[in-house]
Amino acid sequence: MSKQSEHAEDAMNQATQPTSPFLPDEELQTTDRQLVERALSGSQEALEALVTRHQPWIYNLAFRMVMVREDAEDVTQEVLIKIITKLASYDPECGAFRTWLYRIVANHVINMKTRGYEAAITDLDTYYSFVSQVPDEDPDSSPETELVIADLAIGCVMGTLLCLERKQRVAFILAIGFGVTDAMGAEILDMSREVFRKTLSRARAKLHQYMSGNCSLVNPEAPCHCRKKAPAFIKSGAYSADRIFFHRPERPRLRDLVGETIERFGTEVYEYAPLFRQHPFYEPPDAIGWLQGMIESKSFQDIFHLDNPGEVTK
Same-domain status, 54 and 95: yes
Number of domains in the chain: 2
- Is there a domain that residue 12 lies in? no
Same-domain status, 264 and 300: no
**pLDDT value of position 13:** 41
Give the amino acid at 285. P
- Please determine, for residue 26, whether its predicted confidence score (pLDDT) is greater than 90: no
- Please determine, for residue 226, whether its predicted confidence score (pLDDT) is greater than 50: yes
Same-domain status, 269 and 162: yes
**pLDDT value of position 28:** 77
Banded model confidence at residue 198, pLDDT cuts 50, 70, 90: very high
Alpha helices in the chain (DSSP H): 3-13, 26-40, 44-66, 69-85, 97-111, 124-133, 143-161, 166-172, 182-188, 193-214, 226-236, 254-258, 273-277, 287-295, 298-301
- Is there a domain that residue 289 lies in? yes
The CATH number linked to 54 is 1.10.1740.10
Q: What is the largest CA-CA distance in the chain?
A: 67
**pLDDT value of position 18:** 82
Give the whole-angstrom CA distance, residue 311 versus residue 42: 7
Question: Which pTM value belongs to this model?
Answer: 0.88
Residue 215 bridge partners (DSSP): 224
Same-domain status, 48 and 147: no
Find the mean pLDDT for residues 63-87.
Answer: 95
Average pLDDT of the chain is 86
Same-domain status, 138 and 277: yes
- Is there a domain that residue 9 lies in? no
Same-domain status, 26 and 171: no
Same-domain status, 131 and 195: yes
CB atoms within 10 A of CB 66: 23
Nearest partner of 156 among 125, 131, 139, judged by Cα: 131
- Is there a domain that residue 6 lies in? no
Domain residues for the domain of 36 are 22-120+284-314
Share above pLDDT 70 across residues of the chain, in percent, rounded to a whole number:
86
Q: How many angstroms separate the first and last alpha carbons of the chain?
A: 53
246-282 confidence digits (pLDDT tens): 999 999 999 999 887 666 665 455 677 888 999 999 9
39-66 confidence digits (pLDDT tens): 998 888 999 999 999 999 999 999 999 9
- Whether the CA torsion 270, 275, 277, 282 is positive or negative: it is negative
Banded model confidence at residue 313, pLDDT cuts 50, 70, 90: very low
Same-domain status, 179 and 66: no
DSSP code of residue 282:
P
- Is there a domain that residue 91 lies in? yes
- For 100-122, give the DSSP string: HHHHHHHHHHHHSPP-GGGGT--
Same-domain status, 131 and 273: yes
